Amino acid sequence: MTNFEGKFCWVDLTTTNLEASKKFYGELFGWRFEEEKTPEGGTYSTAHVGDKGIAGIVEQPKASQGGKSTWNSYFSVKNLEAFAEKATRYGATTIVPRKNIGTYGALSVLQDPAGAYFCTWESAGDPNVEGEYMSEKPGYMAWVELATRDLDRAGKFYSEVFDFSPESMNMGGDSQPYFLFKHDQKPQAGLMGMPKEMPDNLPSHWMNHVSVENCDRSLEKATQMGAKTLYGPQDIPNMGRFATIQDPQGAVISIFAKQ
């Protein structure tokens, strides 16, 4: 697919314990890791399924130890500064300006008007040859969605700054509203209000979903390794089954098994 503003392109985990996180996710998803040094002298571990890079894991710098482990969602843009200027006009705040990442490209971190953090990525190569990122294959990223405490404001913001068209989706029963962000009629990301089961102190956030063969078995395995179940497991009509967990270092991620 041709690249566009807002294409979900990468995730990484900033963790308080690199080796513990690698062990947890390696066992849960079957990821293997390749490592390289960062300019700051740390280690960036890239998780793979086969030869496909899936996600990154990096330990927090010692100066910021004590912070929370966090999964970060990245969206492709053509130019970081131009996008940040546009996003600011619609109420976003730039948290981390351009940061060059070796020969790969550059990133920045923003906060949307409803409080969710997200990363933007400007590729140094041709982003059109990087291929699809999401997949139903086990261990791959299956989906990304925004859980927000201000549905209207968040929906308007992302529809303005990304090449997205929102479309409501019937989740069945008395489920709360759910929206798909589409590009060229293809779903790219989801949008929903914060579920009432989530803790009151959990802010708006982007949630990454990893494909698994069986949601319940993966959830059981995760809890046996020290994870907490925050939501689910729950069926999504005509789609599959998912659950949201908090890993032993405190980072939150979801697992999804296609029906």
pLDDT tens per residue across span 195-212:
777 777 878 999 999 999
Please check the confidence at residue 61 and state whether its pLDDT lies above 80.
no
Tell me, yes or no, whether 30 and 84 share the same domain.
yes
Asked, for residue 136, whether it belongs to a domain, the answer is: no
Residue 236: predicted pLDDT: 85
Average pLDDT, the chain: 89
Tell me, yes or no, whether 147 and 237 share the same domain.
yes
Asked, for residue 134, whether it belongs to a domain, the answer is: no
Q: Which of 46-60, 126-140, 152-166 has the lowest mean pLDDT?
A: 126-140
Asked, for residue 66, whether it belongs to a domain, the answer is: yes
Calculate mean pLDDT across residues 48-71: 82
Tell me, yes or no, whether 11 and 123 share the same domain.
yes
Pick from 129, 163, 181: which residue ends a domain?
129
Pick from 85, 109, 129: which residue ends a domain?
129
Asked, for residue 193, whether it belongs to a domain, the answer is: yes
Range of the domain at 22: 7-129
Question: Tell me, what CATH number does 50's domain have?
Answer: 3.10.180.10
Residue 131: predicted pLDDT: 57
- Cα–Cα distances (Å) from 222 to 30, 32, 196, 230, 253, in that order, read 12, 17, 23, 12, 11
Considering only residues 20 and 132, tell me which one the structure prediction assigns the higher pLDDT. Answer: 20
Asked, for residue 12, whether it belongs to a domain, the answer is: yes
Q: pLDDT band at residue 54, thresholds of 50, 70 and 90? A: very high
